[in-house]
Amino acid sequence: MIFLLVSLFILTTSSLLIFLFCQSRKISARLFLWSLVAACGFGLLSAGSVLCQKTMVGPLTSVDFQVPVHLPLGEFYIGIDPLSAFFLLLLFIVSLAAGIYGYGYLRDYSGPRNVGVHLALFHLLTIVMVLVLVAKNAVLFLAAWELMTVVSYFLITFTNDNEQVRKAGYIYLIATHVGVFCLAFMFLVMGAQAGSMNFDRMTMTPFPLGLSALLFMLAFVGFGIKAGFIPFHVWLPHAHPAAPSYISALLSGVLIKIGIYGLMRVMVIVKDFPLWCPVGLLIMAAISGVGGVLYALGQHEIKKLLAYHSIENIGIIALGLGIGMIGHAYHQDTVALLGITAALLHTFNHAIFKGLLFLSAGSVIRSTHTGDMEHMGGLLKRLPWTGHLFLIGSLSICALPLFNGFISEWLVFRSLLEGVFHLDIFGIIFSILGIVALALIGGLAALCFAKAFGVIFLGHNRSSEGHDYKECDLTMRGPMVLLAVICLWVGLFPTTMVDYAFQAAQVLTGVPMPLALKVAIMNPLLLATRVLSYGIIIFVILALLRRFLMRHYLVHLTETWGCGYTKPSSRMQYTASSFAKPILKIFRSVLFFKVEAVRPKGYFPTEGKLSSSVKDVSEIFFFRPLFFVIKKFSRKLKWIQSGHTQIYILYILFLLVILLVWKLH
């Protein structure tokens, strides 16, 4: 705990100092860098110390700290239990990486905005996110949550001269703030039930099933907006392209995970829900996962694509969570623990590799000055570091073996299969649904990232004007390398993280982990990694064989075989849209996939055009009409303020008469 307080203290003071020195960029940047490193170090220590404790006291060991400040409902009461600690872990890792990267990113920023203030806000965001994670009082939680929204809004709209950015920020602010009302409602209902706003007291109190269903729905909407479940995901694809890359890394790595954290916290407080709640969660998860990756396939703007992938991964996480809750509802501890562990681990992994992806995407955008994949290509030669780091990221997000994504998806699959084994027909049906969804997600994700990596980094360069691509420097490379290393580490030696995830999962299930089950989970993972090592050995052997066979041939290089075309040009490559077209055509009915083509005509054809696009259903067909209706309604009623005094007096009279009739008939 003390470590956490220290890091909070460092962050607070340094953010104030940065704000004071915001005029001189040099000082503020230095200050930012070192304070960030120190604070994150202490934070990681605190999280680790909680997660490593091997006490048999049971899962609910939490270290508390309280400041005697009187507010009507709330008090400043924080504590770390394994669940919070787990999220703190990823928070500190990602914000460390993103922060250092941002320091490098902004070094040669020459815009009108004040960098010092921006950096101070970055610290502030870290602080409030920590507070959300460790808050043990609903009001503190809400306040921190709300602040988180506001601060992140300002970070997103850093470059708000751009109309697009302003719009994106506005959508983000609106969406999340509306979510806050659901949360406030939910927590207050809990508080009214428990008679106190402290989480501990709430955890003690039992909730009647009907009420808990209501709470679940409120929580799902409130936290789901933040986490980006379909159909509440609307803000994500707007916010990410608008924000600077390290901010999107933080958003998608940590911020949306905090939505997941909230959901889990609610599950800790309200222990049992009616069965349809987890089932609903599972279904929404399947929809978000598949929908997210399908939309991602349709995107050609790199950060939009990554944003939709965040939605997909939230779907995967929620699949694990859902099956875990179903298992909990059936009192199948194996399924429950497995599912929740899988969800937690995937949360961590996604934070890491999505952070990596966003950061590397950022340095791509920084050197190409565009986010449109159709103008990229062949960058692996020009930006070797970025390219390879992006490759590692995409291998992880495709859950391919050797990388961390595989471990967590393996766990999710495992839990779903356990569900198939241990549940009754009803449960089996939904486990199958989960399996199908997850399989589809995995395949599509692989397809999508083959497209992304291939189109951005491989082949010829598509852009017409020649850029001077310059590779990012050490301060930007370092954090990415750190994240990449973590990806590989978790992929090859998963035991530690899985162990931590177990610690956290026990908080949710409330039952301490039987050792046998732990072994039953751990062993396969170890064996799987052993198979992977065999694979590596085979690879080495093959490589040596190849070297041996080719020893006395000199490799000669030519053009790619153009299949008979005499002048193959870079514009003849497969583009991102054409790569994704077949699969999108298969799913066109749900995606509203449309291809507009202007075909060249005549003997001396003028230039033709071809563009394909997918429509985000929930945005186009739900939210926009909704807002339109709201605005229209308010415009319809403007006549109330007609400007005639006489009419106004009439209102008073009417009210008088109505009240008299109503009250004294």
Task: Rank residues 63 and 455 by Cβ distance to other proteins and give the closer one.
Answer: 455
568 is a site residue for other proteins (CB under 8 A): yes
How far is Cα 469 from Cα 367, in angstroms, rounded to an integer?
Answer: 5
Neighbouring-strand partners of residue 595: 612
By rule CB under 8 A, what count of residues binds other proteins?
Answer: 143
- What Å distances lie between residue 626 and 40, 84, 629, 634, CA to CA? 42, 37, 5, 13
Per DSSP, the three-state class of 67 is: strand
Report the nearest approach of other proteins to the CB of residue 102 (Å).
21
How far is Cα 15 from Cα 12, in angstroms, rounded to an integer?
Answer: 5
Sorted by sequence, the CB contacts under 8 Å of residue 394 that are 6+ apart come out as 357, 449, 452, 453
414, 494, 500, 503: which one binds other proteins (CB under 8 A): 414
5, 543, 590, 620: which one binds other proteins (CB under 8 A): 543
Report the nearest approach of other proteins to the CB of residue 232 (Å).
14
Torsion angle of C-alpha atoms 613, 309, 583, 569, degrees rounded to 10: 70
Task: Rank residues 100 and 437 by Cβ distance to other proteins and give the closer one.
Answer: 437
Per DSSP, the three-state class of 612 is: strand
- Nearest one of 437, 405, 445 to 293, comparing CA atoms: 445
With vertex at residue 154, the alpha carbon angle to CA 151 and CA 157, rounded to the nearest 5 degrees, is: 150
Q: Give the pair of three-digit tokens for residue 228.
A: 């980006």
Report the nearest approach of other proteins to the CB of residue 58 (Å).
28
Binders of other proteins among 432-491, rule CB under 8 A? Answer: 432, 435-436, 439-440, 442-444, 446-447, 450-451, 453-455, 458-460
How far is Cα 142 from Cα 145, in angstroms, rounded to an integer?
Answer: 5
Binders of other proteins among 252-291, rule CB under 8 A? Answer: none
Report the nearest approach of other proteins to the CB of residue 609 (Å).
18
Report the nearest approach of other proteins to the CB of residue 567 (Å).
13
Report the nearest approach of other proteins to the CB of residue 574 (Å).
3
613 is a site residue for other proteins (CB under 8 A): no
Binders of other proteins among 176-195, rule CB under 8 A? Answer: 177-178, 181-182, 184-185, 188-189, 191-192
Binders of other proteins among 329-388, rule CB under 8 A? Answer: 377-378, 380-381
With contacts defined by CB under 8 A, name the span among 342-350, 355-363, 422-430, 476-484 that binds other proteins.
Answer: 422-430
Task: Rank residues 2 and 519 by Cβ distance to other proteins and give the closer one.
Answer: 519
54, 556, 567, 601: which one binds other proteins (CB under 8 A): 556
25, 271, 422, 467: which one binds other proteins (CB under 8 A): 422
How far is Cα 643 from Cα 638, in angstroms, rounded to an integer?
Answer: 11
What is the separation of C-alpha 549 from the centre of its chain, rounded to a whole number of angstroms? 47
Report the nearest approach of other proteins to the CB of residue 274 (Å).
19
550 is a site residue for other proteins (CB under 8 A): yes
Q: Quick one: CA dihedral 51, 57, 61, 65, positive or negative?
A: negative
Can you spell out the DSSP letters for 408-438? HHHHHHHHHHHHHHHS-HHHHHHHHHHHHHH
628 is a site residue for other proteins (CB under 8 A): no
429 is a site residue for other proteins (CB under 8 A): yes
Do 271 and 205 touch, CB atoms closer than 8 A?
A: no
Report the nearest approach of other proteins to the CB of residue 391 (Å).
8
Binders of other proteins among 46-75, rule CB under 8 A? Answer: 69-74
Task: Rank residues 71 and 204 by Cβ distance to other proteins and give the closer one.
Answer: 71
196 is a site residue for other proteins (CB under 8 A): no
Compute φ and ψ for 115, nearest 5 degrees. Answer: -70, -35
Compute φ and ψ for 414, nearest 5 degrees. Answer: -55, -45
What are the E-state strand segments in 243-345?
A: none
Report the nearest approach of other proteins to the CB of residue 606 (Å).
22
The single-letter DSSP state of residue 443 is H
With contacts defined by CB under 8 A, name the span among 77-85, 170-178, 347-355, 615-623 that binds other proteins.
Answer: 170-178
How far is Cα 61 from Cα 206, in angstroms, rounded to an integer?
Answer: 21
326 is a site residue for other proteins (CB under 8 A): no
Report the nearest approach of other proteins to the CB of residue 133 (Å).
17
How far is Cα 460 from Cα 480, in angstroms, rounded to an integer?
Answer: 25
80, 286, 326, 399: which one binds other proteins (CB under 8 A): 399
Binders of other proteins among 130-169, rule CB under 8 A? Answer: 139, 142-144, 146-147, 150, 157, 160-161, 163, 166, 169
Binders of other proteins among 513-542, rule CB under 8 A? Answer: 520, 523-524, 527-528, 530-532, 534-536, 538-539, 542
Q: Which residue has the tokens 């590397």?
A: 360
Per DSSP, the three-state class of 625 is: helix
The single-letter DSSP state of residue 494 is T
The Cβ-side half-sphere exposure at 145, using a 13 Å CA radius, reads 29
H/E run at residue 80: strand 76-80
Report the nearest approach of other proteins to the CB of residue 54 (Å).
26
With contacts defined by CB under 8 A, name the span among 235-243, 301-309, 340-348, 653-661 that binds other proteins.
Answer: 653-661
Report the nearest approach of other proteins to the CB of residue 97 (Å).
25
173 is a site residue for other proteins (CB under 8 A): yes
298 is a site residue for other proteins (CB under 8 A): no
Q: Which residue has the tokens 């020195």?
A: 21
Task: Rank residues 465 and 559 by Cβ distance to other proteins and give the closer one.
Answer: 559
Binders of other proteins among 96-125, rule CB under 8 A? Answer: 112
Report the nearest approach of other proteins to the CB of residue 662 (Å).
9
- What Å distances lie between residue 269 and 137, 186, 263, CA to CA? 12, 12, 10
Q: Give the pair of three-digit tokens for residue 568.
A: 């193959």
